[in-house]
Amino acid sequence: MRLILFGAPGVGKGTQAKLIASNLNIPHISTGDILRQAVKDKTDLGKKAQEIMNRGDLVPDDIMIGIIQQRLHKPDCSKGFILDGFPRTVKQATALDKLLSEMNIKDVNVINITADDNELVKRIGNRRACKNCGQIFVLKDIEGKSHCPNCNAEKSFYLRDDDKEEVVRNRLNVFRKNTEPVLDYYNKQNSVISIDGLGSINEVNKRVSEKLKLKN
Ligand code: AMP
Write out the chain's pLDDT in tens, 216 residues: 999 999 999 898 999 999 999 999 999 999 999 999 999 999 999 999 999 999 999 999 999 999 999 999 999 999 999 999 999 999 999 999 999 999 999 889 999 999 988 888 888 989 999 999 988 898 999 999 999 999 999 999 999 888 888 899 899 999 999 999 999 999 998 779 999 999 888 999 999 999 988 665
Q: Dihedral sign, CA of 203, 171, 64, 191?
A: positive
pLDDT digits (tens, 9 = 90+) for 86-123: 999 999 999 999 999 999 998 899 999 999 888 888 88
The model carries a pTM of: 0.89
8 A C-beta contact, residue 26 and residue 79:
yes
CB < 8 Å & 24+ apart, contacts of 95-99: 95/61, 95/65, 96/65, 96/68, 99/65, 99/68, 99/69, 99/72
Which residue type is seen at 11? V
Ligand 1 lining (C-beta closer than 6 Å): 9, 31-32, 35, 52-53, 56-59, 64, 85-86, 88, 92, 162, 171
- pLDDT at res. 216: 53
- pLDDT at res. 165: 87
What is the architecture, at CATH level 2, of domain 2-115+165-215?
3-Layer(aba) Sandwich (3.40)
8 A C-beta contact, residue 159 and residue 128:
yes
Between CA 138 and CA 148 the distance in angstroms is 12
- pLDDT at res. 174: 95
| Catalytic residue check, 40 | no
- pLDDT at res. 215: 61
Q: Give the mutation target among 28, 35, 65, 90 for probing the ligand 1 site: most ligand atoms within 8 A of CB.
A: 35
| Catalytic residue check, 177 | no
| Closest C-alpha to 127, from 11, 17, 211 | 11
Q: What is the DSSP string of the chain?
A: -EEEEEE-TTSSHHHHHHHHHHHHT--EEEHHHHHHHHHHTT-HHHHHHHHHHHHT-PPPHHHHHHHHHHHHTSGGGTT-EEEES---SHHHHHHHHHHHHHTT---EEEEEEE--HHHHHHHHHTEEEETTT--EEEHHHHTT--B-TTT--BS-EE--GGGSHHHHHHHHHHIIIIIHHHHHHHHTTT-EEEEE--S-HHHHHHHHHHHHHHH-
